[in-house]
Amino acid sequence: MKSIHWIIIIWILAMIVFGMMGCATLGIQPPIDTLPVSPEITTIIKNISWMQGILIIGIVGSIFACFNGAAKIGIPLLISSLVGYGLTSAMMFYAKLIAIMSLVGGVGLCGYMIFIKHRALKEIIKGVQNYRTDRKTPVL
């Protein structure tokens, strides 16, 4: 007897829930109006070439690589992607602004890479010299 009461209570609650939802559950739904796409977005999408799309993916991927500790791969990829994006942008649209920004960014990253590389080279040479002085036998 108790199980029948629970079934009746659950059935009544379900009917109340369906009754409160109205035609969204049981009736016909009107079609959803889509938002009109602005003409600026469509012109930008039409003007982007496949090369710029690949370079944008390269820029984003290299930034993630730098933040995840793979700076040896991320920084050169970022430099090459920025320079390539700047060159393709200079040929297509937003020429002056994007070309100048990407050129300055690429040159700055090249300088950063050179300073890091020289520091790393000095540390390697210092490590080799320490290794040679620590060894008892001379190295030929």
Domain ranges of the chain: 47-121
Please give the Cα distance from 52 to 31 (Å, whole number): 37
Residue 107 clears pLDDT 60, i.e. is over it:
yes
Please give the Cα distance from 137 to 62 (Å, whole number): 45
Structure confidence at residue 11 as a pLDDT band (50, 70, 90):
confident
Report the residue count for the chain.
140
The DSSP call for residue 26 is S
Place of tokens 């999408």: 45
Tell me, what's the pLDDT at 138? 58
Residue 10 clears pLDDT 60, i.e. is over it:
yes
Tell me, what's the pLDDT at 78? 86
Residue 127: other Cβ atoms inside 10 A = 10
SS3 28: coil
